[in-house]
């Protein structure tokens, strides 16, 4: 059976009522027949039937053994780091999501967990960086926001040869395009806020483990720390997943059209998109991803915050907002938005330069999206004054 058909029909019909939509069990507790004798559920932090459906679906989608749903992507990341103890070290991709950097630096460093950042686009750099304290390798591929690609299979081999865990943040590709556990990863995390939810209407995170043993450890942390996903938001993610494959295919098609347009534009310096043959690790990308995904980033020849702001305040269909992966296109200026918590020197060294712009290419018509980008780039080239562009954007945003 085709995986999409299998996925759609793996979402269970409610055995009690026949409801085709998964019921939302909006309850805090469950009545027991005798102490400890119940129908598999005792308290809704520990488990909830709606959340359990989502957790089973994501485990299946990612080819893992166990899945767990959290209140945000960062809560999911936090649960994985809690597998470690003081004195342990993480080797992480250098172009890491800013919120993960903030969590590692400002929460876990003072608890004795050290993080070293490596350019993981070359697997040899990872092998060379391992120290006796290293316990966990942390990848995002593609990365946020410069779409760097790392070879999951090669790095999984390095991790296992050194008795380390490999965790992959699969938010950007989503399981519709890439399944890291099949390539050797031990843990996958998601900001389900993005493509899995898919409609910019919730905040959620997921963890999937390769083995039941690791799953039990995450389950313990989930229950002990308590950052669970609510029944209603679990239901929203389930509903998003029903159309995931369809959406991500279309996001990727639109993003490739926008990336190709940007590549030919005289105001644009570099375009980062794994689906372009010019991408540094395009060969690895097409080996491990079935399409390029919906995010395109680019820099301007005029590498200034002002020029980038001119662009992001001039688009009309691409709304200026953090986040990505929704139906509506979004534009973001990482240096002053998602990645502002990373010190300027470190940020620039990882490629997040002042003019870098990130587009989350939505499901509108590709021609309309290209026309919107064209219009905004014209404003950049003509150096329209920013005040007018901002007024424009405010007016459009209502
Ligand atoms: C790659 C990646 N991982 C994790 C997160 C954190 O997810 P959340 O915002 O759901 O906490 C984000 C958020 O943008 C992200 O882009």
| Full 3-state SS string of 148-174 | CCCCHHHHHHHHHHCCCEEEEECCCCC
Between CA 78 and CA 70 the distance in angstroms is 10
**Ligand 1 pocket residue status of 78, Cβ below 6 Å:** no
The verdict on whether 260 is a catalytic residue reads no
Going by alpha carbons, the residue nearest to atom 10 of ligand 1 is: 73
The confidence band for 388, taking pLDDT boundaries of 50, 70 and 90, is very low
- Which one, of 297, 312, 317, lies nearest residue 362 by Cα? 317
Per the listing, tokens 């029944």 go with 231
Residue 384 has pLDDT above 80, yes or no: no
How does pLDDT run across 123-150, given as a tens digit for each residue? Answer: 999 999 999 999 999 999 999 999 999 9
Between CA 225 and CA 284 the distance in angstroms is 37
CA of 381 to the centre of ligand 1 (A): 33
DSSP string for 125-145: HHHHH--TTEEEEEEESS-TT
* Top mutation candidate among 73, 178, 200 for ligand 1, by most atoms within 8 Å of CB: 73
β pairing state of 187-191 and 319-320: unpaired
Task: Give the percent of the chain with pLDDT over 90.
Answer: 88
Catalytic residue among 45, 102, 116, 239: 45
**Ligand 1 pocket residue status of 169, Cβ below 6 Å:** yes
Span 74-101, mean pLDDT?
Answer: 96
The verdict on whether 169 is a catalytic residue reads yes
Between CA 94 and CA 230 the distance in angstroms is 32
Between CA 229 and CA 73 the distance in angstroms is 10
Q: List helix spans (H) across 243-358.
A: 244-263, 282-288, 305-312, 344-349
Span 147-175, mean pLDDT?
Answer: 98
Between CA 195 and CA 324 the distance in angstroms is 8
How does pLDDT run across 259-311, given as a tens digit for each residue? Answer: 999 999 999 999 999 999 999 999 999 999 999 999 999 999 999 999 999 99
How does pLDDT run across 230-241, given as a tens digit for each residue? Answer: 999 999 999 999
Going by alpha carbons, the residue nearest to atom 14 of ligand 1 is: 323
0.85 surpassed by pTM? yes
Residue 389 has pLDDT above 80, yes or no: no
Q: Which residues fall within 8 angstroms of residue 239, CB to CB, at 6 or more apart?
A: 21
pLDDT, residue 53, reads 97
Coil, strand or helix at 332? strand
151-165, 345-359, 367-381: segment of lowest average pLDDT: 345-359
**Ligand 1 pocket residue status of 193, Cβ below 6 Å:** yes
Q: How many beta carbons lie within 10 A of that of residue 224, not counting itself?
A: 10
How does pLDDT run across 329-355, given as a tens digit for each residue? Answer: 999 999 999 888 778 888 888 789 999
DSSP string for 364-383: S-HHHHHHHHHHHHHHHHHT
pLDDT, residue 390, reads 46
Coil, strand or helix at 184? coil
Backbone angles phi, psi at 236, to 5 degrees: -65, -40
Task: Give the percent of the chain with pLDDT over 70.
Answer: 96
Backbone angles phi, psi at 6, to 5 degrees: -65, -40
Separation of CA 342 from chain center: 18
pLDDT, residue 392, reads 41
Between CA 325 and CA 227 the distance in angstroms is 23
Residues 338, 272, 376, 397, CA torsion sign? negative
Output DSSP code: residue 88.
-
Catalytic residue among 82, 194, 219, 319: 194
Average pLDDT, the chain: 94
pLDDT, residue 2, reads 85
Separation of CA 299 from chain center: 21
Between CA 194 and CA 216 the distance in angstroms is 26
Residue 177 has pLDDT above 90, yes or no: yes
Between CA 52 and CA 6 the distance in angstroms is 18
Q: Which helix (H) or strand (E) holds 213?
A: helix 212-225
pLDDT, residue 346, reads 81
pLDDT, residue 338, reads 83
Report residue 224 as tokens: 């002990």
For residues 341 and 224, the model is more confident at 224
pLDDT, residue 321, reads 96
The verdict on whether 358 is a catalytic residue reads no
The verdict on whether 128 is a catalytic residue reads no
pLDDT, residue 393, reads 43
- Which one, of 48, 103, 97, 63, lies nearest residue 81 by Cα? 103
CA of 97 to the centre of ligand 1 (A): 7
């Amino acid at each position: 059976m085709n995986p999409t058909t299998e996925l759609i029909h793996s979402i269970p019909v409610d055995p009690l009522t026949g409801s085709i939509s998964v019921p939302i069990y909006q309850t805090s507790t469950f009545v027991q027949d005798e102490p400890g004798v119940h129908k598999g559920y005792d308290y809704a932090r520990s488990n909830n039937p709606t959340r359990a459906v989502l957790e089973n679906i994501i485990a299946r989608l990612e080819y893992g053994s166990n899945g767990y749903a959290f209140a945000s992507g960062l809560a999911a990341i936090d649960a994985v780091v809690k597998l470690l103890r003081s004195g342990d070290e993480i080797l992480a991709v250098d172009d890491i999501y800013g919120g993960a950097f903030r969590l590692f630096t400002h929460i876990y460093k003072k608890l004795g967990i050290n993080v070293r950042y490596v350019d993981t686009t070359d697997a040899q750099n990872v092998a060379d960086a391992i120290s006796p304290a290293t316990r966990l390798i942390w990848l995002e591929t593609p990365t946020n926001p410069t779409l760097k690609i790392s070879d999951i299979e090669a790095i999984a081999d390095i991790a296992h040869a050194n008795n380390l865990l490999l965790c992959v943040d699969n938010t950007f590709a989503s399981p519709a395009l890439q399944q890291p556990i099949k390539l050797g990863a031990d843990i996958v995390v998601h900001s389900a806020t993005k493509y899995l939810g898919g409609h910019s209407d919730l905040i959620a995170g997921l963890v999937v483990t390769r083995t039941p043993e690791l799953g039990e450890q995450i389950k313990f942390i989930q229950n002990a720390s308590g950052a669970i996903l609510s029944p209603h938001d679990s239901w929203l993610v389930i509903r998003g997943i029903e159309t995931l494959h369809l959406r991500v295919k279309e996001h990727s098609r639109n993003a490739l059209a926008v990336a190709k347009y940007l590549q030919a534009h005289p105001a644009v310096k570099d375009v980062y998109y794994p689906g372009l043959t010019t991408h540094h690790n395009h060969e690895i990308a097409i080996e491990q991803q079935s399409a390029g995904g919906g995010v395109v980033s680019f820099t301007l020849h005029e590498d200034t915050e002002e020029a980038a702001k001119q662009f992001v305040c001039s688009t009309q269909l691409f709304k200026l907002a953090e986040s990505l992966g929704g139906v509506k296109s979004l534009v973001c200026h990482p240096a002053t938005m998602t990645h502002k918590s990373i010190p300027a020197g470190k940020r620039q060294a990882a490629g997040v330069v002042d003019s870098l712009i990130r587009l989350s290419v939505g499901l509108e018509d590709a021609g309309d999206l290209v026309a919107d980008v064209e219009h905004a780039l014209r404003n950049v080239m003509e150096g329209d004054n920013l005040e007018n562009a901002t007024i424009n954007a405010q007016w459009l945003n209502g």
